[in-house]
Amino acid sequence: MTLRSLAADVPVQPDADEARRWLVEELAKPEYRTEPSLLQRFLDWLLGLFDGAPTIDLGGPLTAVLVVVVVLLVAGIAYWVAGPVRLSRRATSSAVVHDDDARTAAEMRAAADAAASRADWATATLERFRAVVRSLEERAVLDARPGRTAWEAAEAAGERVPDVADGLARGAHLFDDVAYGKAAVGPEADAFLRALDERTLATRPALRAELAHSAPTSGGGDA
């Protein structure tokens, strides 16, 4: 809807109840439902301006423009406040294992199998990679840390199980593609992660002492 078309649809002389109804209908849209305290206080104040207000009679076009300006102002503030909220929700959704997820790796594998059986490849991909990460935690390859991202898990685990480091990186990429809605996945993604899970289970993690011994030394040379 353009400013011109909105102005053309606005009555010439909206009274206080009509103006309030326009704002309520606009603010009822889903994009304004983040309900942060700052935004809610502003909206309460704005709607209060119409309580007991006299009939607005500023001349047809001018009235329409004022109503449009108010609506755009509300939309702009809502977007400004809701933007960080959406980003925060997206970041939470991309965590491999959420804070309240106490399932075992076996339970996550079962959830992935159930999703795959109904061709829900997106859920199967997420649950299968979660099972890989939870299995690494159960084996003490990774410290149990809910909320870590897929890439954090892949990078940390790749140092301990270098034989599957590349597979973990690809698995993290698949997980993020699904979590962020970047790409659709199919049965091949589930098959890859299923094989990665099996390879990871069969791989002996490098001991921390071995990693320290294999790390290059700086400034060393023959005497």
Q: Are 40 and 82 in contact (CB under 8 A)?
A: no
pLDDT digit string, tens, across residues 110-123: 999 999 999 999 99
Mean pLDDT, residues 33-58:
58
Distances (CA, A) of 22 to 5, 16, 73: 15, 10, 14
More confident residue, 14 or 198: 198
List the domain boundaries for the chain: 3-93, 105-209
pLDDT digit string, tens, across residues 179-205: 988 889 999 999 999 999 999 999 988
Q: Are 21 and 75 in contact (CB under 8 A)?
A: no
**Residue-level pLDDT at 145:** 83
pLDDT confidence tier of residue 25, bands split at 50, 70 and 90: confident
Give the CA angle between residues 161, 163, 165 to the nearest 5°: 70
**Residue-level pLDDT at 96:** 78
